[in-house]
Amino acid sequence: MSIATPAPVEPTEPADSAAWSGGVAVRPASAWWVLIAGVIGLVASATLMIEKVEMLKNPAYVPSCSINPVLSCGSVMATPQASVFGFPNPLMGVAGFAVVVVTGVLAVAKIRLPRWYWAGLTLGVALGAVLVHWLIFQTLYRIGALCPYCMVVWSMTIPLLVVSASIALRPLAGNPVARVLYTWRWSIVALWFTAVILMILVRFWNYWSTLI
């Protein structure tokens, strides 16, 4: 009589590792938002880069977004803050939003990317958000002018951070803090927009009041 030998057991991947390495299903609304935000941010960044090149070629050039003393891209792009790392800031936007566009296309096509990829994207967008807030402060309280195309980038970065974080951090849904942040995420975004708009209104009220 032969004794049956047990079949070899394949090593299983730890649950935590599988959660982060497995492909993530992204809701259509989130996928489209990533794509749309990426396209808008890329167009705004590329336009800024083109305007910057024109200014370098011709110091007398007036950018298309220099509308009045407050809404003046030229005033902003001529400052050191416009080249934080020694090269024009829009280059970072072009590179970063290009990645976002590709990610959005893949997500819309229902191609599942690993969660670690979404986590990396979220980290990159978070770093961009930090830079955005620094630039908001510099624009309002040091430069004293607003760049419309820059504000388009601002307005895309924060919601994009919320969406990418919602996708990447889904395994933390059981965490009470994460659950509260997820539940109120769009309210937080709305408060952010409200705060920025109010700061702009207050900072340049002397000019806005002349238009009334």
Residue bearing the bigger pLDDT, 170 or 34: 34
> Averaged over 137-156, what is the pLDDT?
96
Reported as a single tens digit per residue, the pLDDT across 148-157 is 999 999 999 9
Is pTM, for the whole model, over 0.75? yes
The class level of CATH for 24-171 reads mainly alpha
Residue 3 pLDDT grade (very low, low, confident, very high; cuts 50, 70, 90): low
Reported as a single tens digit per residue, the pLDDT across 55-69 is 999 989 999 999 999
Query: By the 8 A CB rule, do 38 and 52 touch?
Result: no
Reported as a single tens digit per residue, the pLDDT across 159-174 is 999 999 988 887 676 7
Residues 96 and 121: their CA atoms lie apart, in Å, by: 9
Residues 111 and 56: their CA atoms lie apart, in Å, by: 41
Please, what's the b/e burial string for 133-142 (b: 16 or more CB within 10 A of its CB; e: otherwise)? eebbebbbee
